[in-house]
Amino acid sequence: MASSSPTVMLRRPAGNLLLGGMVVIVATLVAAARLAGIGRSALAETFVLIFTSIVVEALPFVLLGALVSAGIAVLVPNRAFERLARLPLPLQVPGAALGGLAFPVCECGSVPVARRLISRGMHPAAGLAFMLASPIMNPIVLASTWIAYQGRGLALQMVLGRAGLGLLLAMVAGWAIGGEGARDILRARPDDEHPAPATPTSPGDRIRAFTDHLAADFYFMGKFVVIGSALAAALQAVVPQTLLSGVARTPVLGALALMALAFLLSLCSEADAFVAVSFVQFPIGSQLAFLVFGPVVDAKLAFLYGATFRRRFVVKLVVVAAPIVLAGSLWFEVLMR
């Protein structure tokens, strides 16, 4: 109900009390942790450093994705999406996957954009193809792959292998998982119940609608990036990666091991090539598996997907992605020999 009173008032004393309580609790926790010397524990230090570094690196990309998503929501008219939705699916899916070439953000940014595209009318198969392709095929990722493998004389092969297998995976997974309607694939969000005006007209309304969409996406995705990063950091701090080196020489087991490692590490796709190239005792095909599987499925993304899509999306994605990546990496190995 609109208030006619010009008086500025805070409506939520209970909320303010809660907020104040939170600040006091956090301040007490910080002081207690410092006094208890928690920072002297190597495990705690390793966890906090890796956790913070993943979040610090990922959060601006989440914001970038939320900015693009808010722009799509507020600035792109409905008729543009209606025209897009009328395109035949066999054209939408590869077109959307190739669209990843023009979207230079990693996986954290592509999820909110894909969600927005699907909710605005793009076919889910095409939206998923875009979401899965852009972290693998964007120019920054392909350039970093080139630079990382240049020293081994495999730059062109790895870039083509990564882009080709990534494109194939995105299209197949999009078709296989996104065949249903948007309502069947997207999880409803609380802010969906309070949408901003669909077509804000005044500049003030537009700014307000834009910031509403931006904040909704940032908050929603951001919290799952934080939770996923905590899991990835805990795995890095606790699990010795040398457990995997025993299977390094076997192509099939090597690929599976590096796919598991990619899930565990949750690296940004713009950096993972520099890590993959150091796994010299693993076959080159296994390294490709690491580079294609990681940007599509990892610990951090599992939380993001779980919150964005309906139940069992992650399971379906793993069931589709793992065999494609495994088979593709083995064929890459065959071709490289």
Partner 1 sequence: MNIDTGRVLRAAVFAAWAIFFAYLRISGDMTRYLGPRTYWVVTFGAVALGGAAIAHVATLRTQTEPRRPTRAEMASVATLLIPIVGVLMIPSAELGALAASRKLSSAGGGEVGAFAPAAPDPDGDISFAEIQYANESEEYAAQAGVVEGTPIRLTGFVTHAADAPGEGFDLTRFYVSCCAADALPFSVRIGPSIGLAPLENDWLEVQGRVARDESGFYVQAQDISEVPEPAVPYLY
- Provide the b/e sequence for 281-314 (b: ≥16 CB within 10 Å): ebbbbbbbbbbbbbbbbbbbbbbbbbbbbeeebb
Tell me how far apart the alpha carbons of residues 9 and 17 are, in angstroms, rounded to a whole number.
Answer: 15
Closest distance of CB 322 from partner 1, Å = 21
Cβ proximity to partner 1: between 51 and 305 the closer is 51
What is the per-residue binding string for partner 1 in 134-153, x denoting contact by CB under 8 A? -----------------xxx
Tell me how far apart the alpha carbons of residues 70 and 76 are, in angstroms, rounded to a whole number.
Answer: 10
- Provide the b/e sequence for 62-76 (b: ≥16 CB within 10 Å): bbbbbbbbbebbbee
Q: Which of 314, 241, 245, 255 lies closest to 290, judged by CA? A: 255
Tell me, what amino acid is at 148? A
Q: Which of 85, 176, 208, 327 binds partner 1 (CB under 8 A)?
A: 208
Cβ proximity to partner 1: between 101 and 248 the closer is 248
Q: Considering the rule CB under 8 A, would residue 17 count as an interface residue with partner 1? A: no
Cβ proximity to partner 1: between 48 and 98 the closer is 48
- Structure token digits, residue 171: 């299209």
Beta bridge partners of residue 257, listed in sequence order: none
Please tell me whether residue 250 adopts helix, strand or coil conformation: coil
Residues 19-78 binding partner 1 (CB under 8 A) are: 19, 22, 26, 29-30, 33-34, 38-39, 42-46, 48-57, 59-61, 63-64, 67
Residues 212-231 binding partner 1 (CB under 8 A) are: 214-215, 218-220, 222-223, 226-227, 229-230
Cβ proximity to partner 1: between 134 and 286 the closer is 286
Residues 274-333 binding partner 1 (CB under 8 A) are: 274-275, 277-282
Residues 162-201 binding partner 1 (CB under 8 A) are: 190, 194
Size of the site for partner 1 (CB under 8 A): 93
Cβ proximity to partner 1: between 143 and 176 the closer is 143
Residues 74-103 binding partner 1 (CB under 8 A) are: none
Residues 233-252 binding partner 1 (CB under 8 A) are: 233, 236-242, 244-245, 248
- H/E element, 14: helix 13-36
Beta bridge partners of residue 309, listed in sequence order: 186
Q: Which of 198, 211, 312, 335 binds partner 1 (CB under 8 A)?
A: 211
Q: How far apart are the first and last CA of the chain?
A: 72
Cβ proximity to partner 1: between 102 and 239 the closer is 239
Residues 251-280 binding partner 1 (CB under 8 A) are: 261, 265-268, 270-272, 274-275, 277-280
Q: Which of 116, 23, 28, 15 lies closest to 65, judged by CA? A: 116
In this structure, what are the phi and psi dihedrals at residue 287, rounded to the nearest 5 degrees?
A: -65, -35
Q: Which of 213, 180, 255, 175 lies closest to 65, judged by CA? A: 213
Cβ proximity to partner 1: between 45 and 82 the closer is 45
